[in-house]
Chains A and B, each alone.
Chain A
Amino acid sequence: DTAVSQTPKYLVTQMGNDKSIKCEQNLGHDTMYWYKQDSKKFLKIMFSYNNKELIINETVPNRFSPKSPDKAHLNLHINSLELGDSAVYFCASRQRTSGKETQYFGPGTRLLVL
């Protein structure tokens, strides 16, 4: 009965590869997010999706592309991986209703690019 789930939990890959991280939420929320946590534990927003529309994109390289097949899923696809992409990526979701602004996070995907 996990609320927000991500797969895989760990991802080790070579530079230049293309990879995807999947995120699913069973909370019925209508907004989903991707955050990046760097090696210093700093968390920063990458994307948010609401009803299949990209709402924000915080200067993320276009090698990163979120894909939402439906309201419950927001996958992150990364092309031509670089060393600097090594980080922990967190998915989150929220219901855009006043009083329910709390975001719930997935367990994270630890990406290591060699």
Chain B
Amino acid sequence: AQSVTQPDIHITVSEGASLELRCNYSYGATPYLFWYVQSPGQGLQLLLKYFSGDTLVQGIKGFEAEFKRSQSSFNLRKPSVHWSDAAEYFCAVAPKGGYGGSQGNLIFGKGTKLSVKP
């Protein structure tokens, strides 16, 4: 079955420290990959996405993610965390060419809550 695993439920980092949030997926073929962020009481904002090509993708707010096919992973990183980065982070996948089957609906991981210490 298709699934997305975010092994860390809650991570706390100090402001200015580096961050890595893990994401692994289980899928028949390499899907499209996304990271979304949800601030408290807010909607979902797209941070970055991977469709093909360069496996290191840059996103908004200084985030980047690296796709590793051999590990079925798409980990999110940021070199220096700011207090405003405290939020819930969701990794998601969608099938490629999903026009005849699942129509591209996103499958989400359960999220990682990021807390930032001053």
A residues apposed to B, CB below 8 Å: 31, 33, 35, 40-45, 48, 50, 55-56, 58, 90, 92, 94, 96, 98-99, 101-108
A99 to chain B, nearest CB (A): 7
Given A31-B104, A108-B43, 13 extra CB contacts under 8 A:
A31-B103, A43-B44, A43-B90, A43-B92, A43-B106, A45-B107, A50-B103, A55-B103, A56-B102, A92-B44, A102-B34, A102-B46, A103-B104
CB pair A103–B108 under 8 Å, yes or no, is no
CB pair B46–A104 under 8 Å, yes or no, is yes
Main secondary structure of the interface of B (DSSP, over half): strand
A-B interface pairs (CB < 8 A), number = 64
Cα A31 to Cα B94 in complex, Å, equals 14
CB pair B108–A94 under 8 Å, yes or no, is no
B contact residues, range: 20 to 34
Partner pick for A99 among B43, B45, B51, B107, CB 8 A cutoff: B51
Q: Encode contact with A along B79-118: 1 for CB under 8 Å, 0 otherwise.
A: 0000000001010101001010011111110110100000
CB pair A44–B108 under 8 Å, yes or no, is yes
- Would you call B70 an interface residue if the criterion is a C-beta within 8 Å of the partner chain's C-beta atoms? no
CB pair B46–A101 under 8 Å, yes or no, is no
